[in-house]
């Protein structure tokens, strides 16, 4: 029996109007950035440390973890498929702006500042510090293949949009981690940025098929430190 045309129109309209909305709290959300590489033998323990945030009671609302894979260790014999040139550039920007003493992996930046407690077994599992600032509400809306980000601060800012993958498994064939099966959490699969003043629109028709979550954040000028961030899991397709 043919489906009535008006039902098809209604179904299409409902799908087109569906949206996913992510809203931060007014207080600053703490971002945890790990700069890592599949070609670095010191990185798997740091990635396991990042995995613990899967069970953090404030995940997405209080704390947003992200793993930025860098490409500067690829020459050691293994090309990290998650490595993006802009990730290494982001880390270099942190170093030039004072957020990191130098470029290295694993490198951890929390709320725009270098975090060294991971390297001391006595402090490795202490809770990450939460921020006390109140920059305001950052909102991200996904609808009709457009990601719209809005923020109350009307000064000139840079807006970032990243798609994250969870449970990304890779069998490493060569390099320092040869023979290991690595499981990546919160891995940045793709990352874009736009300049603007309190509203930004990203076309996400080509978002990665394996994306499980989305994160948006805003920063000031050349300083990559997030002013505010928002994110969460994507709805099932």
pLDDT exceeds cutoff 90 at 56: yes
CA distances from 25 to 36, 195, 205 (A): 29, 23, 28
Count other Cβ atoms within 10 Å, centred on residue 109: 23
> What does pTM read for this prediction?
0.91
52, HSE (Cβ side, Cα atoms, 13 Å) = 11
What pLDDT score does 127 carry? 86
**What does the mean pLDDT of the chain come to?**
91
What is the Cα–Cα distance from 121 to 193, expressed in whole angstroms? 36
First to last CA, the chain: 27
pLDDT exceeds cutoff 60 at 8: no
pLDDT tens-digit readout, 138-197: 999 999 999 999 999 888 999 999 999 999 999 999 999 999 999 999 999 999 999 999
* Nearest CA-CA partner of 167 in 191, 143, 196, 187: 187
Length of the chain equals 237
What pLDDT score does 7 carry? 36
Cβ atoms of 111 and 219 within 8 Å: the answer is no
CA distances from 40 to 57, 106, 155, 178, 179 (A): 30, 8, 39, 10, 13
Cβ atoms of 106 and 35 within 8 Å: the answer is yes
- 32 backbone dihedrals φ, ψ, rounded to 5°: -115, 110
What is the Cα–Cα distance from 215 to 191, expressed in whole angstroms? 9
pLDDT tens-digit readout, 67-113: 999 999 999 899 999 999 999 999 999 999 999 999 999 999 999 99
What is the Cα–Cα distance from 186 to 230, expressed in whole angstroms? 14
pLDDT band at 237 (very low <50, low <70, confident <90, very high): low
What is the Cα–Cα distance from 39 to 111, expressed in whole angstroms? 26
pLDDT tens-digit readout, 187-217: 999 999 999 999 999 998 778 999 999 999 9
Cβ atoms of 161 and 146 within 8 Å: the answer is no
């Amino acid at each position: 029996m043919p489906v009535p045309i008006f039902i098809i129109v209604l179904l299409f309209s409902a799908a087109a109007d569906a949206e996913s909305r992510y809203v931060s709290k007014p207080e600053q959300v703490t971002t945890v950035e790990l700069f890592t590489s599949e070609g670095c033998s010191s990185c798997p323990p740091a990635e396991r440390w990042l995995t613990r945030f899967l069970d953090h009671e404030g995940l997405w609302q209080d704390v947003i973890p992200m793993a930025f894979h860098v490409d500067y260790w690829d020459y050691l014999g293994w090309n990290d498929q998650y490595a993006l040139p802009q990730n290494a550039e982001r880390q270099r920007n942190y170093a030039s702006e004072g957020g990191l003493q130098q470029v290295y992996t694993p490198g951890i930046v929390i709320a725009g500042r270098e975090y060294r407690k991971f390297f001391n077994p006595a402090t490795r599992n202490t809770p990450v510090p939460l921020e006390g600032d109140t920059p305001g509400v950052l909102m991200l809306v996904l609808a009709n293949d457009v990601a719209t980000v809005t923020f109350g601060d009307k000064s000139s800012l840079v807006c970032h949009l990243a798609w994250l993958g969870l449970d990304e498994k890779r069998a490493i064939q060569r390099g320092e981690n040869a023979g290991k099966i690595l499981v990546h959490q919160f891995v940045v699969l793709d990352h874009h940025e736009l300049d603007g003043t309190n509203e930004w629109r990203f076309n996400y028709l080509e978002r990665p098929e394996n994306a499980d979550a989305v994160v948006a954040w805003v920063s000031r000028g050349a300083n990559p430190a997030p002013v505010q961030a928002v994110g969460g899991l994507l709805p099932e397709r």
